[in-house]
């Protein structure tokens, strides 16, 4: 897998320009930097003046601290009970979605003698975490009281459909603002709402921070902005060539049989590397600048493509499953659509067996 650091930084710059000068950027680097390798992602972005980095778990946050990250590290997913001490000891900023977590975080801070920095999450429609914006009157007084011994540094919500329904962002923003008015947070509390898609469809809601994710890594973020610069290319070598007579079966279950005389190339990549098995008999690849169909089921370790129209193909040739070869290109979103999933899953599903080569 080839990864372009310059494209990653270019996509960050587009996010920054979309959000405007008043909003700092907190790139999401969870799930090992969306599968690209968090150490290299952080190294590529740290020189770009980002305000901090967002992760999903305390362990991910501690890993960033171990890399010497000097900017704030924000854990956005709710903390499992028992992880508060580690979070406080590591100096992480953590999200709180309920009073029980606040109580545990306060206790952890008192045990350690250190301050605990928290971001209050308000649920405006995602439903999976956060204080309910529609019942703010019932929990706001208790929240304000519980926050007294902690350092309240942020307040945020998660958008659920910014990539497909910009009007939903307006509705969520309205709920969020009403909850903020009821809470009256101090002026230093950083407000952050917009993800990648939100930055492009509703930049007016950028507030004081934005949290871009998939767009940085080359995945489309709705229709509101420019397509991102491609960041990832996934390639493998031809390791076997086969001339097939009509009716020759191929792969597990013999889901494909040659129609006429065909020539097949076996590439050294499979679902054990993260290439979706669903691409069998429906996906394609690029070989010597030409698009070739994937035939048969994808195996754990190898994938076969029909190269009947590429007669000069040889052992050792490079087969591109994501990326550009000549005039043609396969984007990660095209692969995701064919596999009936999203680009996030394609990138984070690439396994450790795939070498990450930064260029």
Catalytic center residues: 30, 252
Q: How far apart are CA 291 and CA 297, in angstroms?
A: 18
Q: Output b/e per residue, 204-229; b: 16+ Cβ within 10 A.
A: ebbbbbbbbbbbbbbbbbbebbeebb
Cβ neighbours for 43, distance < 8 A, ≥ 6 positions apart: none
Q: What angle do CA 75, 76, 79 make, to 5 degrees?
A: 70
**3-class DSSP state of 202:** coil
Q: Are 35 and 234 in contact (CB under 8 A)?
A: no
- Output the DSSP codes for 140-154: HHHHHHHHTTSEEEE
Q: How far apart are CA 120 and CA 97, in angstroms?
A: 6
SS3 for 65-76 is: HHCCCCCCEEEC
Helix then strand count (H, E) for the chain reads: 11, 20
Q: Are 77 and 100 in contact (CB under 8 A)?
A: no
Q: How far apart are CA 359 and CA 337, in angstroms?
A: 27
The upper half-sphere exposure of residue 70, i.e. CA atoms within 13 Å in the direction of its Cβ, equals 4
Of 92, 12, 93, nearest in space to 45 by CA: 12
Percent of the chain as helix, strand, coil, to the nearest 5 = 35, 25, 40
């Amino acid at each position: 897998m080839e990864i372009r650091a310059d494209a990653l930084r270019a996509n960050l710059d587009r996010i920054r320009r979309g959000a405007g000068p008043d909003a700092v950027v907190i790139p999401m680097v969870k799930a090992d930097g969306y599968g690209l390798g968090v150490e290299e992602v952080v190294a590529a972005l740290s020189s770009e003046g980002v305000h901090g980095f967002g992760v999903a778990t305390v362990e991910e946050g501690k890993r960033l601290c171990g890399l010497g990250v000097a900017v704030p590290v924000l854990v956005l997913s709710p903390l499992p009970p028992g992880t508060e001490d580690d979070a406080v000891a590591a100096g992480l900023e953590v999200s709180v979605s309920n009073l029980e977590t606040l109580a545990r975080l306060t206790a952890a801070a008192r045990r350690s003698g250190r301050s605990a920095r928290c971001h209050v999450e308000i649920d405006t429609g995602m439903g999976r975490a956060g204080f309910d914006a529609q019942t703010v009157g019932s929990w706001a007084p208790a929240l304000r009281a519980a926050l007294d011994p902690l350092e309240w540094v942020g307040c945020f919500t998660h958008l659920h459909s910014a990539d497909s329904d910009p009007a939903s962002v307006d509705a969520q923003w309205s709920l969020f603002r009403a909850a903020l008015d009821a809470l009256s947070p101090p002026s230093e509390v950083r407000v952050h709402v917009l993800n990648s898609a939100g930055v492009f469809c509703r930049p007016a809601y950028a507030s004081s921070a934005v949290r871009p994710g998939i767009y940085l890594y080359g995945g489309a973020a709705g229709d509101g902005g420019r397509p991102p610069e491609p960041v990832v290319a996934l390639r493998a070598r031809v390791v076997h060539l086969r001339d097939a007579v009509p009716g020759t079966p191929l792969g597990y279950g013999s889901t494909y049989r040659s129609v006429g005389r065909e020539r097949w190339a076996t590439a050294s990549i499979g679902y054990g590397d993260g290439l979706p098995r669903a691409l069998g008999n429906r996906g394609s690849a690029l070989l010597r600048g030409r698009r070739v169909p994937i035939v048969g089921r994808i195996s754990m370790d190898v994938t076969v493509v029909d190269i009947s129209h590429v007669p000069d193909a040889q052992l050792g040739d490079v087969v591109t499953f994501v990326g550009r070869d000549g005039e043609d290109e396969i984007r990660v979103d095209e692969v995701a659509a064919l596999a009936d999933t999203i680009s996030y899953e394609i990138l984070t599903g690439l396994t450790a067996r795939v070498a990450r080569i930064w260029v």
